[in-house]
Structure 1
Amino acid sequence: MVSEPVTATSFLGGHLRALAAIYDVTLIANTDDPGLLHSLGVDGETVGVGIERRIRPVRDLRALLELVVLFRRRGFDAVHSLTPKAGLLSMTAAVLARVPLRTHTFTGQVWATLNGPKRGLLRLLDRVNHRFSSFSLVDSPSQRAFLIRERVVRAERSGVLADGSICGVDTDRFRPDPVGRKRVRVELGLSEDELVFLFLGRLTADKGVLDLAQAFALARERHRDISLVIVGPDEEALRPRIMAELGRHEGACTLVGFTPDPERYLAACDVFCLPSYREGFGSVLIEAAATGVPSLASNIYGIDDAVIDGTTGLLHPPGDAEAIAGQMERLIVSPRLRTQLGEAGRRRALESFPAERVVHAMVDYYSDRLPPRT
């Protein structure tokens, strides 16, 4: 069960296909597309339920009651949820409907960067998710350690699949692509000689894009042959503020909206940047690694599982534009360092995070707890 269909289409295809070979699988999401599972190559049913990401007390209560009725009528043996709202509703409904196996996957905490009552409330809701689940999965070891310290999850009732991430990385899709690199650079008006820094993801303040813009402007004062490409939906209308941070260097920055083909931009860049304030794991970091691109990212939980500082990328304190600029300069002046980090990152992605490994771990998780269909 997920709130938004894109969660299933982006991260769960491999898991759903593998599990559908053993069990009868139903996908529940906020969708009116009854063929959503079929579009992922899964022979199963899609059920639409009005689950919204934001708190909507009346609509949330209606969705909860709908789920209780659905779970009781179908007699599910297991319910598995991702994302906080889907987890809260489905774990509560599963307890009320007496579903035997209840699993919630934690993929990052909105409240990690908050203070005051709002942090306390959202943290409490995550504790409810865990309390109502039979077992909780966490998508990175350091995030699990954080949740244990915060007394959100208990060590004996939580775990991580393989070495972490939701679904691993598709190493056929994310790989070095010299031809694609040249094509995208031509599309963006970038020369082969320019050193390109890339941000790829939702444009929000929590992702650190404003810090990145400020850091890039500082680095470009000393190095004129560098460019910044920012790819992703502008969810907080940050474009004017990004341009303000860039100042007279705004011409060296290209903003691209949402893309269904992130691998094209990763193949075209020289350094991937994720200066985020919070992450669950940061799957895009291992996608960059599989492409052979070194990462420059915040030293926070979740990210430090995806990037080994000084080995597969460079880390910096979150929110520190001068530190980001300093790490940028290290990568600008040393092509050898970029190559070493990129090669080591690709080896690690292929060895530790291939999608098949994480899918097998998910199948093993259920095989140990739920007999296959007869």
Structure 2
Amino acid sequence: MLRKRLCFITTVPMAVSAFLRLHIERLADDYDVFVISNYGTEPLPDDERVTYLNVPLAREISPLVDLKALFSLVGLFRRYRFDVVHSVTPKAGLLGMLAARLAGVPVRIHWFTGQVWVTRTGLGRFILKSADRLIAAAASHLLADSPSQRDFLVVERVCREGRIEVIGDGSICGVDGERFCPDPFARERVRDEHGIPADALVVLFLGRLNTDKGLREMAQAMVQLDGQFPDLHWLIAGPDEGGMVEHIRSVAGRLGERLHFQGFTREPEAYMAAADIFCLPSYREGFGSSVLEAAAAGVPSVATRIYGLTDAVEDGVSGLLVPPANVPELTVALRRLIEDGALRATMGEAARTRALLRFSRERVVGGLSDFYVRVFAQRRKA
């Protein structure tokens, strides 16, 4: 029997390495796996079990580039006669699902990982939301990376109830409990690198630095806490987007040498281990993988009560949830964990147990493999 051909498509290669690598490794045992992304001038990954293809997919709206990419994808899909096209990220979803539909690909799967239009208004919101509706209409199967995101998409009429499902309890790739774990050596090393005393209390933000992550509110909260906790350190790791570092320095510069910027890091596990509290006051998240990684490292979180994060954090058990864009309540929640070391320890232990039990990589990767088996079995019966 010929092996079925699966094709993953993402806008940027980083999504492949961050979210799909383990899925691809597992599925390559049973299927011929292809990956399409915008590799540009960088060399394609060398993997004898996986075929990588370059298509110039633009992240932003670019009508001429997008139209050219659409036709390129239709041609590739017809040439390789894929049994499945599986898209992740919004632009790859829109172009990938439309091209797969036009090329007659029988199984077309899109995995929603968050909606950029949640924080938009007016025409911009309408256009981006309509794009998600078009993705849903062109796909044969839909996945969401959290139950609350699934429910949100149904309420917002992006898709009908029953058309979209979640693998396990959520998350697109789960968490590696061996990589993300309490690590006293990494904790000491990171603190030494940033000049943070071993007994200091550290609040960590790790992720892309932009307005949607709630960093403006977090900066104000940290300034308010500084007056009460003069030994508190704020460690920020992640790539700057839109001059956010400059803004944070202008608001929270009074922290002085207790304000630390790392930039992009390839070892987020070390920074999680160095922290006492993880904070993600985001306006929008599909799931909040960084919260899950902090949890696996035994670090409790303060996060916003939005879809996605309500699945990643069990309020009052593995962390605390606050309303988005609410500086007073964010400050109160952070103060509660700063003042109560016993509560931090209890929540940190509960967070790690919950992360490994419900969101392990083995469970999520196995869940997607089972999903494919079920989809193909249903097609054989049809």
Q: TM-score, normalised by structure 2?
A: 0.95
State the 1:34 CA deviation: 5.4
1:223 to 220, 229, 246: 229
Residue aligned with 1:273, SS: strand
Residue aligned with 1:279, SS: coil
The separation in 2 between residues aligned to 1:171 and 1:220, in whole angstroms, is: 33
Residue aligned with 1:325, SS: helix
Query: Does the Cα contact within 8 Å between 1:106 and 1:280 map onto a contact in 2?
Result: yes
The separation in 2 between residues aligned to 1:367 and 1:246, in whole angstroms, is: 52
Residue aligned with 1:368, SS: helix
Partner of 2:56: 50
1:244 to 215, 240, 250: 250
Partner of 1:202: 208
State the 1:368 CA deviation: 1.2
Which residues of structure 2 form unaligned runs of 5+? 1-8, 378-382
The separation in 1 between residues aligned to 2:359 and 2:197, in whole angstroms, is: 32
Residue aligned with 1:369, SS: helix
Read off the aligned partner of 1:50 and give its amino acid letter.
Answer: P
Q: Does 1:169 align with 2:175?
A: yes
1:235-258 alpha-carbon deviations (Å, 9 max, x no partner): 111122101211422432101110
Partner of 1:330: 336
Q: How does 1:1-374 map to 2 (within 5 A)?
A: 1-32=9-40, 33=42, 35-36=44-45, 38=47, 43-370=49-376
The separation in 2 between residues aligned to 1:86 and 1:101, in whole angstroms, is: 16
1:180-202 alpha-carbon deviations (Å, 9 max, x no partner): 11111111100011100000000
Read off the aligned partner of 1:190 and give its amino acid letter.
Answer: I
Query: Does the Cα contact within 8 Å between 1:102 and 1:135 map onto a contact in 2?
Result: yes
Residue aligned with 1:27, SS: strand
The separation in 2 between residues aligned to 1:263 and 1:26, in whole angstroms, is: 29
Query: Does the Cα contact within 8 Å between 1:37 and 1:43 map onto a contact in 2?
Result: no
Q: TM-score, normalised by structure 1?
A: 0.97
CA 34–368 in structure 1, closer or farther in 2 if over 3 Å, else same: farther
Query: Does the Cα contact within 8 Å between 2:44 and 2:53 map onto a contact in 1?
Result: no
Read off the aligned partner of 1:345 and give its amino acid letter.
Answer: A
Query: Does the Cα contact within 8 Å between 2:253 and 2:259 map onto a contact in 1?
Result: no
The separation in 2 between residues aligned to 1:182 and 1:252, in whole angstroms, is: 16
Residue aligned with 1:36, SS: coil
The separation in 1 between residues aligned to 2:273 and 2:116, in whole angstroms, is: 30
Residue aligned with 1:328, SS: helix
Residue aligned with 1:212, SS: helix
The separation in 1 between residues aligned to 2:46 and 2:118, in whole angstroms, is: 33
The separation in 2 between residues aligned to 1:315 and 1:93, in whole angstroms, is: 40
Residue aligned with 2:32, SS: coil
The separation in 2 between residues aligned to 1:37 and 1:229, in whole angstroms, is: 36
Read off the aligned partner of 1:317 and give its amino acid letter.
Answer: P
The separation in 2 between residues aligned to 1:12 and 1:231, in whole angstroms, is: 23
State the 1:234 CA deviation: 0.4
1:281-306 alpha-carbon deviations (Å, 9 max, x no partner): 00111100000000011111100000
The separation in 2 between residues aligned to 1:94 and 1:37, in whole angstroms, is: 26
Which residues of structure 1 form unaligned runs of 5+? none
1:149-205 alpha-carbon deviations (Å, 9 max, x no partner): 000021221100000001000111101101111111111100011100000000000
Greater CA deviation, 313-322 or 104-113?
313-322
RMSD: 1.1
The separation in 1 between residues aligned to 2:273 and 2:77, in whole angstroms, is: 44
The separation in 2 between residues aligned to 1:262 and 1:307, in whole angstroms, is: 19
The separation in 1 between residues aligned to 2:124 and 2:193, in whole angstroms, is: 44
1:344-365 alpha-carbon deviations (Å, 9 max, x no partner): 0000011001101000110011
The separation in 2 between residues aligned to 1:37 and 1:347, in whole angstroms, is: 37
State the 1:133 CA deviation: 0.3
